[in-house]
A and B are shown apart, each in its own frame.
Chain A
Amino acid sequence: MIISRWFTRPFKSRLRSGADWFEDRTGATELLHKGLYEAVPKKGGWAYALGSATLALILLQLFSGIFLLLDYVPSVSEAFNSLDYLRTSDGFGAWVRGLHLWGAYTLIFVIGLHMLRTFLSASYKRPRELNWVSGAVLFFLVLGLAITGAMLPWDQAAYWTTTVVTNIPHYIPFIGDGIRTLWRGGDFVGPITLTRTFAIHIWVLPFLLFSLIGAHLYLLRRHGEFGAWVNYDTDPDSDEEKQIGERIRRAEPPYPTKRIERRYAAPRETVPFFPNQLFKDVLLSTLLIAVIFVMGLISGAPLDGAADPATLNYVPTPEWFFLPLDQFLVVAPQNPLIAIGVFGVLGIGAALMLFLPFIDRSHERRPLRRPEVIIPALFMVFTVIFFAVLGINRLYNL
């Protein structure tokens, strides 16, 4: 009955009613509308594009990773061969692997910049503390994905990375040896080590990653994008209270956010997310993906010789983003304080980063007015850079 009536109507009307029917059943358009037309701060759109670029690059990793799974075999005797085949014989396979590797490099670089931006603009302050915490956990998850991914090819680089990384828990007092044994599936790196690392890389970490991305985005939309303090500045010549009151009065959702100082409740000027912000987001992501596209082809992903535990002259070299940690292992205090060095100092550093919003609770947003966090952070940034350079120098000269 309904169907016959639908067929007798003009085409355009049919289409419209079909869309209405779908909208009525799903609410898709409303959702899309809500997603696209939210207010974002007018200034600093290129800096916020780093966040969406991070998301785009994570999705790219998912995409290229699925394709790699079509050929890769997680077994100590086959893993290297399957990737060697991919490299030499499988048409576009090497390119896809190049995309995955350069995607990872770019992702870590961009996620670092995104964190730096959030840190400098103090976007982590009330009520966005959990945005920062979820983001920091996401950062650690991405580092975990990067390190487990580096173990999978089972070439020389992967084998020694596996050996060193799975040995680090050994220095945790009491339970360290147990963790190492569980990860390795025995005292030494063996066949079970690879399958466990594979499971962690393919299922455990991505599952956590995508759950947290959902939470991160939900929180972002709940509290609204927080730009740098320039978005909240007032005109020094006129009455500040009046300006702020006016600003809050005409604020669009999701501003003004509850439980926030009035001064930082709503930005001075906002624009709809679409098309203003989305254009910048898409442009930056396109640029980054173009870089990955080109680098994946011309540089690709390296594959050393097959794993050989009996090697004598191979210098195990970590990926560039782990070089500072590697150099820290060189200068950290040694036995019996090695656990304090590796887990104490780095653990405190990681905890400070994770719980930053609960440490820096002042209302101040301007970077130069927050020396209590800016000085230690700059110190950390410079230490990381110096350690990376010194690590390269040390490994190059061996």
Chain B
Amino acid sequence: MKQLTRREALTRGTGLGLGLVGVMLSVPAVGFLLSPLFLKQRSSWVTVGPIDGIPVGKPTPLVAEVPVGTGYPTPPVRRVVYVVKKPDGGMLALSNICTHMQCDVHWDPQLGNFLCPCHGGLYDIDGNNVGGPPPQPLPQWVHRTSTDAAGRTILEIENKLNESI
């Protein structure tokens, strides 16, 4: 093995020291930076309300106070649940989050479609993307129904969607 000169040894030592500092600084920093990738959203169910009075074939927006489930504790945020009752007895609990850029979709009775004002995305009454940029149908909230003491049907949703968008 070749004898190291003093100069070479010092250069290598400097490089080694800098490398060590780099590793020591980057492990916690990168870990901290990437942590949201591995943190699970805290799940929670919230009650939206009774849905008996909602007419068939007319998407009706209900508002629920939904916990964010990420980050430090903050008050729950208001979210829209579009309840769509189908003539065949089925029921959809659509979110109003556009699958294109996640803007606020609303039901436009004149167009007979859900319209996203940001880039003109259109969804039909079932939430299928039928025009404009949206790449996939409107997702539904993960939901379940129950009957309360007064015999009303109560809609509950979890703070997540049934499909990732």
Contact = CB atoms under 8 A, between A and B. Distances in A.
A188 B37 contact: no
A36 interface: no
Contacts of B68: 186, 188, 190-191
B164 interface: yes
Contacts of A298: none
Contacts of B77: 309-310
A316 interface: yes
Interface stretch (A11-19, A251-259, A266-274, A331-339): A331-339
Interface string A188-211: 101110000000000000000000
Contacts of B79: 309-310
Given A330-B133, A334-B135, A312 B61 contact: yes
Interface string A152-187: 000000001001100110000000011001101111
Contacts of A168: 101
B69 interface: yes
Given A190-B68, A192-B70, A330 B132 contact: yes
Interface in A304-357: 308-316, 326, 329-330, 332, 334-336, 338
A190 B136 contact: no
Contacts of A394: 120
B102 interface: yes
Interface string B107-139: 000000000011110000000000011111000
A286 interface: no
A118 to B, nearest CB: 33
Contacts of A182: 33-34, 36-37
Contact of A181 (B36, B71, B132, B133): B36
B101 A330 contact: no
B33 A329 contact: no
A184 B36 contact: yes
Contacts of A187: 41, 70, 160, 164
B63 interface: yes
A178 B80 CA distance: 26
A329 B119 contact: yes
Nearest to A327: B119
B161 to A, nearest CB: 9
B71 A186 contact: yes
Contacts of B117: 314-316, 395, 398
A185 B70 contact: yes
B1 interface: no
B29 interface: no
Contacts of A308: 78
B25 interface: no
B28 interface: no
A186 B39 contact: yes
A334 B103 CA distance: 17
Given A163-B103, A309-B77, A188 B70 contact: yes
A334 B106 contact: no
Contacts of A163: 101-103
B136 A335 contact: yes
Contacts of B39: 186
Interface of A: 76-77, 160, 163-164, 167-168, 177-178, 181-182, 184-188, 190-192, 308-316, 326, 329-330, 332, 334-336, 338, 394-395, 398
The 5 closest A-B pairs by CB, nearest first: A186-B70, A335-B135, A310-B78, A191-B71, A192-B71
28 contacts: A77-B75, A160-B103, A163-B102, A164-B102, A177-B164, A181-B36, A185-B70, A187-B70, A188-B68, A190-B69, A190-B74, A191-B68, A191-B70, A192-B72, A308-B78, A309-B78, A309-B80, A310-B80, A312-B61, A314-B104, A314-B117, A315-B117, A316-B104, A316-B118, A332-B133, A334-B135, A338-B135, A398-B117
